[in-house]
Amino acid sequence: MHSLPVSSALQSMMVRIRRDLHQHPERSWHEEGTAASVMAELRALGLQPRRIAKTGVVVDIPGLRTRPLIALRADLDALPIHEETGLPFASQNPGLMHACAHDGHTAMALGAAALLLQDPPPVSVRILFQPAEEVAEGARAMVADGALADVAQIFGGHIDRHYPVGTIAVQAGAMNASTDMFFITVRGRDGHGARPHEALDAVVVGSLLVTALQTIVSREIDPAHPSVITVGSFHAGTAANVIAGQAELSGTIRAQHPDVRKHLHAALRRIASAIGLLHGAQIETRIVEGTPVLLNTPDMAALAREAAMQVCGPEQVVELRSVNMGGEDFAVYLENVAGAYVRFGGRAAGREGFPAHSSRFDFDESVLAFGAAYLAQVARVAAARLHSEVPQ
């Protein structure tokens, strides 16, 4: 049993909140009930929250100084997954599930609010409860709606089944990859399968594209920089004896370095164009940018590590065990202000094999205590530094 860094009363409160949210998941941009629950919990703490970015919530916790602010962020939305955990508090909304621990993140942030209220921090702390993280749109909407006004630094984290409870993973550099999508249309000429010379086969051209795109990462990118180009869909043709005149391909581009990200985009466009010229096909390439690379700068990683050690002890603060190619739109905040992102160990006994976005995903609820304590502590450490650096 872990020795929890918060009171049993606060832990019980966070477990109650987490389970209630887990039973009532809502998809991105539809977090009305979730936002209402968060507002009610914050008001019960004596705070004055406000709605922002459609279904988001922000609240300021008064400090000894009001400006500049330290921000903390949690996410609200669930996934379109039918839950199969068998938990007594399983989702009551068919086809929706908190399969990425956002219910836990929200409970942690509310717990951090309670901790910060016990003793005013050196500067005020703003907590962001963000919608639509799963579709990589919520952070940009929050920023556009003024969530970062007067904010100097922002901190957050994610529950992670790869680490035991009581562990916090933090490091300088990439914590998450960029997540871009590509869509390629190949236009040839349809025709009879018995007379290929009269057609321009979009299946052949598209197949060459699939193969050629795999050489970008393997032959153009430094192996020290993890990156991925995956073709996830290929649609063409209507019958066995008809040569397809059009093919549609789509996929994902992932990188852990901004310059590598740019190179992948340019190389994909170059190869698609060249294959079109080679076979006389018209090829249209569209890249939709998603989340940027999530990078912790060395100074912010050091600050986060200091706070984590104060909560968990030095031996429990680790670096990532493997490269994380998943995306996280917390990176959008870090394009605007300084900050850091960490991973909270939340391995649940008996459920180690069920990853995030799985219908059987769950986590050890003891992690809520460590997450809340860390968020409150990193806000205090960051606030104390700001307080000493900003002229009185």
Residues tagged active-site: 77, 133
**Burial of 339 from C-beta contacts in 10 A (0-12 / 13-18 / 19+):** buried
Whole-angstrom distance, CA of residue 25 vs CA of residue 171: 31
Q: Do you find a cis peptide bond into 68, omega within 30 degrees of 0?
A: yes
DSSP letter string, 272-321: HHHHHHHHT-EEEEEEEEEE--EEE-HHHHHHHHHHHHHHH-GGGEE--S
Hey, how many other C-beta atoms are within 10 angstroms of the C-beta on 335? 14
Read off the tokens for 342.
């960490």
- Measuring CA to CA, how many Å separate 194 from each of 188, 205, 339? 17, 18, 62
Hey, how many other C-beta atoms are within 10 angstroms of the C-beta on 31? 29
Whole-angstrom distance, CA of residue 44 vs CA of residue 190: 66
Whole-angstrom distance, CA of residue 242 vs CA of residue 199: 10
Q: Are the C-beta atoms of residues 180 and 267 closer than 8 Å to each other?
A: no
Whole-angstrom distance, CA of residue 329 vs CA of residue 349: 29
**Burial of 259 from C-beta contacts in 10 A (0-12 / 13-18 / 19+):** exposed
